[in-house]
Amino acid sequence: MAEEKLAAGDEGDNKPMTLTGRNLNYLMGRKHVDAATLSKEIGLGIATVNAMRRGVGNPTLSTLLSLARYFGVSLTELTETDLSREQPRSGPAKTMPLVRLAEVNDFLEQKLDRFQTYTTEIESSGNATYFAVQLNNDALAPLLTPGTVLIVARGEEPCDGDTVLVRIGTHSPCLRRIFIDGDHCLFASISQDSEVPPAIYKNYEVIAIAIKAIKPI
């Protein structure tokens, strides 16, 4: 399946890639992430990240959507708006259920008698509903350490490279990175140290998409 590309332009403030590169640099600075961190967290090559920061290249639509979702902006804002000239905004604070990863299945089946809540700022979209998942082991280290809280959204379609909460077969829900190729989806571990190989599954359910990670201080 061919993917739509963002037209690469010549130098100039109004050209799509020049503006996208400027916005990417601004957003990375605002979020305090470097190219290596961004590469690991969204599954994009460092060379591609650095090329986009310089305003060159021809990124796919799925790459742009992954970047927009990671930084909490719209695709239009990323590619057509000079974000450095906009007043910083914060999303409305939302309070949502907080469960441990091992409790997700019982939470979804409404078998938990009680659970804690978690409040954070997020940019709501569409009809998505949100809950927070706390990691209590180092299985996903070093990217996600124990104590990290992931905000996940139900009701949104995943993009290529997203981190998703997925139920594979009859197993308990787990976190995987999803790669989409037409009608097929490949799921890979988000831990570089994992011995679980990437695989294509026929029997799976994408439960939610991870949209924000709050790491312990």
Asked, for residue 73, whether it belongs to a domain, the answer is yes
Domain end position, chosen among 40, 62, 85: 85
Domain end position, chosen among 38, 56, 85: 85
Condensed to tens digits (0 to 9), the pLDDT of residues 132-156 reads: 999 987 777 777 788 999 999 998 8
Instruction: Kindly report the CATH number assigned to the domain that includes residue 47.
Output: 1.10.260.40
Asked, for residue 5, whether it belongs to a domain, the answer is no
Tell me the average pLDDT across 36-60.
Answer: 88
- Please give the DSSP secondary-structure letter assigned to residue 8: P
Asked, for residue 111, whether it belongs to a domain, the answer is yes
Give pLDDT, residue 4: 39
Contact between residue 178 and residue 186 where contact means Cβ atoms under 8 Å apart: yes
**Strand pairing partners for 99?**
133
Backbone angles phi and psi of 16, in degrees to 5: -55, -50
Q: Does the pLDDT of residue 11 top 90, yes or no?
A: no
Half-sphere exposure in the Cβ direction for 51 (13 Å, CA) = 10
Asked, for residue 131, whether it belongs to a domain, the answer is yes
Q: How many angstroms separate the CA atoms of 174 and 167, rounded?
A: 6
Q: Which domain holds residue 151?
A: 93-214
Q: How many angstroms separate the CA atoms of 69 and 128, rounded?
A: 14
- Say if residue 114 is in the same domain as residue 162: yes
Contact between residue 64 and residue 78 where contact means Cβ atoms under 8 Å apart: yes
What is the tally of structural domains in the chain?
2
- Say if residue 160 is in the same domain as residue 189: yes
Condensed to tens digits (0 to 9), the pLDDT of residues 90-134 reads: 567 889 999 999 999 999 999 998 899 999 888 766 678 999 999
Residue type, 16: P
DSSP string, 76-141: HHHHHS-GGGSPP--PPEEEEEEEEGGGHHHHHTT--S--EEEEEE----TT-EEEEEE--SSTTT
Contact between residue 165 and residue 104 where contact means Cβ atoms under 8 Å apart: yes
- Say if residue 57 is in the same domain as residue 104: no
Asked, for residue 181, whether it belongs to a domain, the answer is yes
Asked, for residue 195, whether it belongs to a domain, the answer is yes
Give pLDDT, residue 89: 53
Asked, for residue 9, whether it belongs to a domain, the answer is no
Instruction: Kindly report the CATH number assigned to the domain that includes residue 140.
Output: 2.10.109.10
Helix (H, G, I), strand (E, B) or coil at 206: strand
Tell me the average pLDDT across 36-45.
Answer: 87
Contact between residue 68 and residue 162 where contact means Cβ atoms under 8 Å apart: no
Instruction: Determine what percent of the chain is predicted with pLDDT higher than 70.
Output: 88
Asked, for residue 4, whether it belongs to a domain, the answer is no
Whole-model pTM? 0.61
- Say if residue 109 is in the same domain as residue 138: yes
